[in-house]
Structure 1
C-alpha cells in the first residue's frame, strides 16, 4: 500500500467509513496475514499503552486495582489480542444471526485490524499531547472514543450489508455481551498463568 493510498484510506475511514470498509474488504488479504497483523498491532498498542502509563502515571488510585494484565505489556498484549479475536468472532456470528450477509469472517477481521492500526496512531498522538497539553489529550481521548464508535457501526453495517446503522449498532451491543463472557474466561486464564509463574 502506497503512502497516498494509506492517507486516502485513513480519510475515508474518518469521514466515509462505508466506503473505506468496502475498499478494505475488496483487498481480500489472506486470513493468516490478517491474524498476524492483528497480533502485531495488539503488541504495538500494548507497548504504547504501557509506555504512556510509565511516562504519565494516572493520578486515579483505582488504576492500581486494575488486573495485572493492564500493567504488564506482555500480558496486556495477550489480553488485547484475545479481546479483539473475540470481537471479530462475535461481530461475525451475531451479525449473521440478525440477518447479516458478511461473506466470511475475514471481512470483520480486516476491519477490526484496520481500526486497531488507527487506534495505535491515535494513542501515539495522545501520549505526545499528554506532555504538551494534558487538557487537549483528555479531549482527544473522548473524541476518539465517540468517533471510533461511529466508524465501527459503519464498518459492521458495511460488512453485513444491513443498510441500517441501528441494526449494526444492535449487533455491536449484543457482541459486547458475548465479549464480556469471553473476556472473563481470558482474564481467568491470564490469572492462572500469573499464579503459576509466581
Structure 2
C-alpha cells in the first residue's frame, strides 16, 4: 500500500466505511501481513500512550486514569489480545446470525479500526499541547468512531443491512463478555475485595 493509497483509504473510511471495508477485504493480503499490521499498530499505540504520559505527567498525589501508559509493552500486549478477541467475536457472532465473514477479514478490519484510532490519538496529543479543551472532545469522538466503524465494518464483513441490530448485538455481546470475565477474574482472585 502506497502513501497515496493510505490517504485515499482514510478518506474513504470516513466517507463510506462499508466501501473501505470491502476494498480492504478484496486485497486478499496474506495472513502474515495482517499479523504484522496488527503488531505494528499496537506497538505504535503503546509508544503514543507512553509519549503522552511523558509529555503530560500526572500531578503528585493524583491517581493516573491509565497507569499502563507508563508500561507501553504491557499496554501493547493487552491491546493485541483485545483486538484478536474482538476480531474473533466480530466473525463468530456474525456467523451465528447468518453472516458469512471470515476471521482473517475481521482481523484486518479490526486492525484498520485501530489505525483510525491511532490518527485520533495523534491529534489528541497535538491538541493537548495547543488547545487542551478540544483534546477531551477528541476522546469522546474516538469512542463514537470506534462504535460507528465497528458497526459499518461488520455490515460489510457479513453482508448485513441493519446497523441498529448490529449495535444491539454488540452491546449484548459486551455484556456477556463482561459477565464471563468477572467470573474468570474472581476465580483467579483478581477481583478487588468488597469493603466489609
Task: With the length of structure 1 as denominator, give the TM-score of the two structures.
Answer: 0.83
Alpha-carbon deviation of 1:134?
0.2
5 Å matches for 1:81-100? 81-100=80-99
CA–CA separation in structure 2 for the residues paired with 1:165 and 1:115: 17
After superposition, the Cα gap between the structure-2 partners of 1:178 and 1:70, relative to the gap in structure 1 and judged at 3 Å, is farther
Distance 1:45 1:182, change over 3 A: farther
> What is the aligned residue count?
186
Shift of the 170–30 alpha-carbon distance from structure 1 to 2, 3 Å rule, reads farther
Identify unmatched segments of 5+ residues in structure 1. 192-198
Deviations 1:99-157 (Å, cap 9, x if unpaired)?
Answer: 2121x211111111111111112111111110111011111222232133212110011
Q: Larger relative CO (CA 8 A, sep 6+): 1 or 2?
A: 1
For 1:69 and 1:56, how far apart are their aligned partners in 2? 14
Unaligned runs of 5+ in 2: 191-196
Greater share of helix residues, 1 or 2? 1
The root-mean-square deviation of aligned C-alpha atoms, in Å, is 2.6
Q: Which residue of 2 aligns with 1:196?
A: none
Q: Does the CA-based 8 Å contact 2:25-2:105 persist in structure 1?
A: yes
**CA shift in 2, pair 1:77/1:183, >3 Å:** farther
Q: What do residues 146-195 of structure 1 show as CA deviations (whole Å, max 9, x unaligned)?
A: 13321211001110111111222134224424554469969x99x8xxxx
SS of the residue corresponding to residue 61 of structure 1 reads coil
Give, in whole Å, the separation in 1 of the partners of 2:28 and 2:148. Answer: 24
Partner in structure 1 of residue 54 of structure 2 = 54
Partner of 1:172: 170
Range 44-53 or range 139-148, more displaced: 139-148
Q: Is the 8 A contact 1:153 1:168 kept in 2?
A: yes
TM-score w.r.t. length of structure 2: 0.83
Q: Which moved more, 1:91-100 or 1:143-152?
A: 143-152
Q: CA deviation at 1:90?
A: 1.1
**CA offsets per residue over residues 79-105 of structure 1, 9 Å max, x none?**
111111111111111111122121x21
Structure ID, larger Rg: 2
Q: 1:105 to 1:58 in 2, by over 3 A?
A: same
Tell me the CA shift for residue 39 of structure 1.
1.4
The aligned residue for residue 133 of structure 1 is 131
